[in-house]
Structure 1
């Protein structure tokens, strides 16, 4: 059972990462639906705003109650998050609460205040997030069904939508465990395979969304696809320490590639259909996976 201090700190750090990821999922869907789908766009926007509201509360509670490592990991926000939000909002017309990002950039670390009040506040955040997450998962599953049955046209790949559903389900599993004052139990290969698949799919999406003229960037993306596919295939038969190290090196290389791509998109030097916030989004997930691997 997690002691109160650990429960508070881990809950805050998990929510700071995943609440932003979830609200950006809804932003991605909102901005990639055709204008005729007004009801679906409105629903996605409403879910995005609801998650932003909870994230705003989490940020307030997190100040002084999270680790220096989590702040410095760039898994909460990167140096590119704010400009990516501003440009994406300008280009798409979608609203993004950048005040949250500015507050996160000012977060300070500290030992959690182990008060019953704060523990109850964290419980409330976790439960409300879990309830909202159920609605978000249902929305994504409904959208997936309609896309696959040609009832809705969505300008992102069905595989990407499935990718968003899997990430939401993992977050739900983590929150359920936290509410029981424990962490989810993953086998090593289960956890590594999940994130190596996620990293490989990021490379697939980047490859598919880059302009055909960006041959060098596309070739590098395909190289990452092959590396992460091999890591998934070899997890069971490879020594644990070796597969962890290989995953770390591959993810650090992907992170560096994504940093360059994010800068290129912000400076309008890369031809693609990648929204800047999506570039920062996948970069943050790489940072998050590196954080996980560094604790193995």
Structure 2
């Protein structure tokens, strides 16, 4: 039975992960424009601040409500998040509200039996705010991508990265809309679709890392390149499993092993960016961002593998 408690818990857990991802997407867009496109810079900053506010409101409701498993997964924050925010703020001059991260670090997990009607209604209002905000951000990303592909705009972000973050926003939007319609999100039933989606995301992360490393970082370049190729294969396996060409269990096991490896690679890379031992043009928060996404995917894979 799909209860109000399930609705609230799934909604808040979804926002704790994805609202932070969206605010960081906005930040990456914001710092990538040229001075000519100051209006786009300002608009990206507006989106970043709006998602800051949304995430802050979600955090205020989450203590004692969301599951301990999600909070301990490393998808909400990692041991590097706060330092990555501070260093990225120092490098860019963009004001990043680290108080949200500090508040998330103190959240306690629980599994409440009942919740008041007013609490459920408040979460529903947050979902509606998120739907509108994500929809607007998707349109903004689509405009940027169109401008870049038509040579109407230059940005430091790869066209593939803009498309990449647009796909993530669309996934977030579809999941919030399902929750608002009280459709239970059965991640296990949707496992293959999720694996195909996230394997592609992991492949692209590796390719972005490869392309943003200094040319002298040959060992890291080669390792990132190998991960990109491996996850391209895994994406194909997940798609083949949908047609029953490849066994589901094999796809999950292979994806789990590879994701653990790339998670460790990203953790080491993020630490290297923070202590200035890696030469690159990777903003530290991007390293932590990709690490959290790997942690999120690992939680899903462990659930699928049960």
Which TM-score band (shorter chain)?
A: over 0.9
2 CA distance for matches of 1:114 and 1:187?
Answer: 28
Please report the TM-score for the alignment, with normalisation by the length of structure 2: 0.94
Please name the residue that 2:254 is paired with.
246
Q: 1:273 aligns with which of 265, 270, 281?
A: 281
Please name the residue that 1:74 is paired with.
74
Deviation for aligned residue 1:233:
1.7
Secondary structure class of the residue paired with 1:224: helix
CA contact (8 A) 1:173 1:184 kept: no
Deviation for aligned residue 1:35:
2.0
CA deviation profile, 1:241-268 (whole Å, cap 9, x unmatched): 1110110110010000000000000000
What CA RMSD, in Å, does the superposition of the two structures yield over aligned residues?
1.1
Deviation for aligned residue 1:11:
0.6
Q: 2:236 aligns with which of 229, 233, 239?
A: 233
Please name the residue that 1:210 is paired with.
213
Q: 1:223 aligns with which of 222, 226, 232?
A: 226
Work out whether 1:196 is the aligned partner of 2:216. Answer: no
2 CA distance for matches of 1:278 and 1:35?
Answer: 22
2 CA distance for matches of 1:107 and 1:96?
Answer: 20
Please name the residue that 1:45 is paired with.
45
Greater Cα shift, 75-84 or 30-39: 30-39
Work out whether 1:131 is the aligned partner of 2:127. Answer: no
Please name the residue that 1:97 is paired with.
97
Work out whether 1:256 is the aligned partner of 2:264. Answer: yes
Distance 1:5 1:184, change over 3 A: closer
CA contact (8 A) 1:199 1:286 kept: yes
Please report the TM-score for the alignment, with normalisation by the length of structure 1: 0.98
Structure 1 segments unaligned to the other structure (5+ residues) = none
Runs of 4+ in 1 over 4 A off after TM superposition: 184-187
2 CA distance for matches of 1:233 and 1:10?
Answer: 29
Q: 1:282 aligns with which of 274, 287, 290?
A: 290
Deviation for aligned residue 1:187:
4.3
Work out whether 1:25 is the aligned partner of 2:25. Answer: yes
2 CA distance for matches of 1:22 and 1:3?
Answer: 28
